[in-house]
Amino acid sequence: MSHLTRSPTDGYPTETSDLQATTEDVLIRHIPDPKDTSQPTLQKNAHLQLLARNLVQGFPSKYISQDASQPWLMYWTIQGFSVLQVGLDPANKQRIIDTVMAWQDPEGGFGGGPGQAAHLLPTYASVCALAIAGRPGPGGGWDQIDRSVSLA
């Protein structure tokens, strides 16, 4: 296998522990051995395919547990394009803006998804996503962020 091993188990397999083991197996295969002095190669096309699939088709069903983390998933997806120095076309940028704005709570801030309670973490991720994909002006996201504060 490799120089790394899986997390210890308690001997009582569950669907969650099986998924954990499967995930660890995948990750272990991709962690280089410190004794290997060859340089890893960035598989840019594979990363772009994953990012594009997640952006266009949405995340696979196994991400259902991350429903309240939609702003973070969006941010990290579009940040991935940025890191790989790949621009987003205007149509995808608008889809991103429209999706993020659907998370804005009428009382201010952003929730983890449409209709979810707003709080600091999804608000931060939503604003970060809009910083990348948004623009000033009508429909651009930046000017539609409700910045008013109610201290009632």
CA distance 76 to 128: 10
**Half-sphere exposure for 98 (CA within 13 Å, toward CB):** 7
Q: What is the pTM of this model?
A: 0.74
Q: Is the pLDDT of residue 152 over 60?
A: no
Write the DSSP string, 69-107: GHHHHHHHHHHHHHHTT-PPPHHHHHHHHHHHHTTB-TT
Q: Is the pLDDT of residue 1 over 70?
A: no
- Report domain extents, the chain: 44-144
Q: Give, to the nearest 10 degrees, the angle between helix 90-101 and helix 70-83.
A: 160
Q: What is the pLDDT of residues 44-91, one digit of tens each?
A: 999 999 999 999 998 888 888 888 999 999 999 999 999 999 999 999
